[in-house]
Structure formats: C-alpha cells, structure tokens
C-alpha cells in the first residue's frame, strides 16, 4: 500500500467537536491512562492548545496535541489508529506541527516517549528530535522511564551547537 501522505488521501485539519468521540476510542486503544471525551473536548477551549487530526475520507485517522506556550511547544499526545500506521500519518502530523511552530516563532518542540517504544523514537529522530533527558518512572501500567526529546528550530538550533 502506498503511503497516504504520498497519495493525497490525507487531510490535516484542526481538531473539532466532531472528532472527539472517535479520538476517545483511539485513546483507549493506545494508552493505559487514556484521555476521556471530556478531557479532549476541554482542549478545544484551551487557548494554548494546538490539536490536529489527519482525516482519511472524512474520518479521523489519529491526532496530535501540543501546548504552545511562549516560544516552546510541548507535545502531549500523538496516536494513530492501527489501520493507518506505517503509512506516514504520524510523520505528516509532526511535519504539520513543525510548520505551525515555525510560523509561530517557536524555538523548540519537546515530547516524552516510552524508552521501549523504539518505533516512535526512530520516527522522532528521523525528523530531527534528539534525546535531551530522561524522566524516571514517568509512565505507569507498566512503569517505565520516558525519554525527553527536543526538536529545535533555526536559529535556536544553531545556538545549541
């Protein structure tokens, strides 16, 4: 199957009320401590929240959420339904966030990832994230450390070298 991002079958849109119920189902499928429908809906009112949804034929295929405060973005969640994984959906979501970040003058985007989630780490590293720390026992069910990763934008990236 050809990646959705290359076939043009993917549209990235801001999260709306119409997405909430399906994304709450996705949360339950992906995470041991899922966000509820109410928690997702509350993000629609959050002044510093940027939530994007990839749609395939009008249906939510996943989402990414980030809080943008001053010159930093913090990704709080990213998830893709199993039938859309390994098709470039998560990559396209992150590229859309980078575009937003550059337009807004962000210096960096941060995220946490389970130390055992090698696939996600490879995706993030391939998009320019580097590990900058570790959060001991950050995740529960099962208990696991999180790797703290950072994507710096120019000219801030040059300042770090």
Query: What's the number of CA atoms in the CB half-sphere (13 Å) around residue 73?
Result: 28
CA 11 from centroid of its chain's CA atoms: 16
Question: Does the annotation mark 124 as catalytic?
Answer: yes
Could you tell me the sign of the dihedral formed by the alpha carbons of 153, 95, 117, 34, in that order? positive
Determine if residue 45 is left, alpha or beta; phi over 0 gives left, psi from -120 to 50 gives alpha, anything else beta: alpha
Report the run of H or E that residue 137 belongs to, with start and end.
strand 130-139
CB 92 within 8 A of CB 55: no
Closest to 90 (Cα-Cα) out of 133, 59, 126: 126
Question: Does the annotation mark 100 as catalytic?
Answer: no
Q: Of the listed 27, 43, 63, 124, which one is catalytic? A: 124
Q: Of the listed 27, 43, 84, 112, which one is catalytic? A: 112
Active site residues: 112, 124
């Amino acid at each position: 199957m050809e990646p959705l991002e290359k076939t043009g079958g993917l549209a990235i849109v801001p999260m709306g009320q119409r997405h909430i119920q399906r994304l709450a189902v996705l949360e339950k499928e992906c995470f041991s401590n899922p966000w509820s429908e109410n928690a997702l809906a509350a993000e629609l009112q959050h002044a510093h929240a940027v939530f994007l949804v990839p749609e395939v034929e009008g249906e939510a295929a996943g989402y990414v959420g980030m809080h943008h405060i001053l010159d930093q973005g913090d990704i709080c969640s990213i998830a893709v339904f199993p039938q859309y994984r390994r098709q470039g959906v998560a990559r396209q979501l992150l590229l859309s966030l980078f575009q937003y970040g550059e337009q807004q003058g962000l210096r960096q985007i941060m995220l946490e990832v389970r130390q055992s989630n090698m696939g996600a780490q490879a995706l993030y590293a391939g998009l320019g994230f580097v590990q900058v720390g570790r959060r001991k026992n950050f995740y529960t069910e099962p208990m696991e450390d999180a790797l703290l990763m950072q994507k710096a934008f120019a000219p801030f990236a040059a300042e770090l070298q």
